[in-house]
Amino acid sequence: MRKVKLTDWKRIGYEEAWDHQTQIQQELIAYKRGRLEDGRDVEHQFVFCEHEPVYTLGKSGSMDHLLLSEAELQEKSIHFHKINRGGDITYHGPGQVVGYPILDLDDFFTDVHKYVRFIEEAIIQTLASFGIHSDREPGYTGVWLPATNTLPRRKICAIGVHLSRWVTMHGFALNVQPDLTYFGHIIPCGINDEDKAVTSMELELGHTLDVSAVKREIAKQFQQLFGWEWSESSDKKLIFAANDTHE
């Protein structure tokens, strides 16, 4: 049984988290190539965190999709980073659950499209456990809510990944209860369609949520889909310290 270390970095700056991810990814690559000089084992990791307000632009994105000037970003205390994941521009901030699976897919399956579909499915099943029906939008990554008579298609989770020698980094950002006005300063994921919008769990359900319960459900869904066990070094309190009360 493959084992994965579960950790929670809590609130962390985006650049610091990116550096940590890169270090873990490079150690996993060196480990599987037999080039880790100290001889220690290196674990797959699944990281939760939350960021201060930041816009990130993927390597295939357009600067035209950022609607603020540098001076306006500074005025609003929003950071901005061009990064090496796929996809376009998105927002991270308080009230999101951000997840970074850092996995050597040689130990699971070497299929990037399947990997992204698994991330989507884990979020879809998580949302279902909270009473939110969601699905996929053909031609786009991420998780969406169906249109209604009064509401357009709504994106609730963004996904962007980067792989090097089949070792992953970056991941997903689920809108639990963020301030959605930040999305008004960008063209989220480069999607400028009038029939598509951004939403959150809080907005859909009409009440605030226990973020820890959301994290536990996400962790459970990933574990079931990928068929791993949590390693002994995991922060198991994140999953087992309290019972889920959202049902």
Write the pLDDT tens digit of every residue in 54-111.
Answer: 999 998 889 999 999 999 999 999 999 999 998 899 999 999 999 999 999 999 999 9
Cα 190 to Cα 64, 106, 108, 150, 171: the distances in Å are: 9, 31, 31, 23, 18
Phi, psi (deg, nearest 5) at residue 93: -170, 180
- The proportion of the chain whose per-residue pLDDT surpasses 70, expressed as a percent, equals 94
pLDDT of residue 142: 96
Predicted TM-score of the model (pTM) = 0.93
What amino acid is encoded at 226 in this protein? F
- Is 49 known to be catalytic? no
pLDDT of residue 224: 96
Homologous superfamily, domain 3-235:
Bira Bifunctional Protein; Domain 2 (3.30.930.10)
Please, which residues bridge with residue 144 across strands? 135, 155
- List, for residues 212-237, the tens digit of each pLDDT value: 999 999 999 999 999 999 998 888 66
Out of 189, 213, 219, 239, pick the active-site residue. 189
pLDDT of residue 34: 81
